[in-house]
Amino acid sequence: MIGPRKATRPARVTRYRGGEVHRQRDALAVEEPLEIRVSWIDGGVRRVEPLAVTMRTPGHDFELVAGFLHGEGIVTGADDLLELTYCRGAEEQEYNVVEARLAPGRGFDLEAVRRNFYTTSSCGVCGKTSLEAVAALGCTLLGDGPRVERSLLAGLPDRLMTGQGVFARTGGLHAAGLFDKDGEVRAVMEDVGRHNAVDKVIGQALLSRKLPATSETLVVSGRASFELVQKAVAAGVPILVAVGAPSSLAVDLAKQFRQTLIGFARDGGFNVYSGPERVG
């Protein structure tokens, strides 16, 4: 039996620098499919159905699945999950299929959930097609949350970088991190998909019974897209900081739910697109 997948893989590369050629070892970020299956009780019988496939970097797969299910409104807390387990099957796929067993009494409308999936330029299985659909998940206006000093907010991307061990070796991963109001790290996760990195962080908080994260700041290494704001709002996160730019729909969603959305957080500065009252 093979063991769990690794996040990196060695490679031989030829480097061309300054007119010189060198053959040397390098490291690649691993990208593999993860199939998410959901099982639940339907009419007294437990059903098992494939829900989605996402391309991800192996590691923290259970957190990824928990965060994904939370973002889609399928689970609201750890008590909704009876078990997360790898599915036995073909040896080469054993650690690429995760089944989430919902707790008895947790309803699940498979077709309704599937109708809400759509394809975007950033990922293949993410979330809601409209602002109204996010509200339909049960998301509510975010509370006041913490007021965070601007100097601390500006330094969070650098603190996120210190937790990106695989990125340091490969240069090929996104990252997401949860930080408290004093800038102390709660969790940092990496993945080839920016949405997966966020799911892993939120999933860890869910499994640790720390949602909603009403006093936390979520920091992402790339841009702030609609689906990332959606996941943060669903998790109750009042402040989202992105190293890159936000999209128009991300800003609209953040404003609708009173989230502080910050973009271009780099070189000691940032832009505030919504919720400036939380910036000290």
Q: Which residues have a catalytic role annotated?
A: 123
234-267 core/surface letters (b: 16 or more CB in 10 A; e: else): bbbbbbbbbbbebbeebbebbebbbbbbbbbbee
Look at the block and give the residue holding tokens 């499994």: 207
Q: Which amino acid is at 56?
A: R
d(CA 78, CA 144): 25
DSSP string, 98-126: EEEEEPTT----HHHHHHT----SS-SS-
d(CA 75, CA 67): 9
Report the candidate in 70, 66, 71, 72 with the shortest Cα–Cα distance to residue 98: 66
DSSP string, 130-164: SHHHHHHTT---------B-HHHHHHHHHHHHHT-
Ramachandran region, residue 232 (left: φ > 0; alpha: ψ -120 to 50; beta: rest): alpha
For the beta sheet containing 97-102, the strands, ordered from the edge strand earlier in sequence to the opposite edge, are 45-56, 32-42, 97-102, 81-86
d(CA 160, CA 121): 25
Six-digit token pair at 139?
A: 């998301």
Name residue 102's beta-bridge partners.
Answer: 81
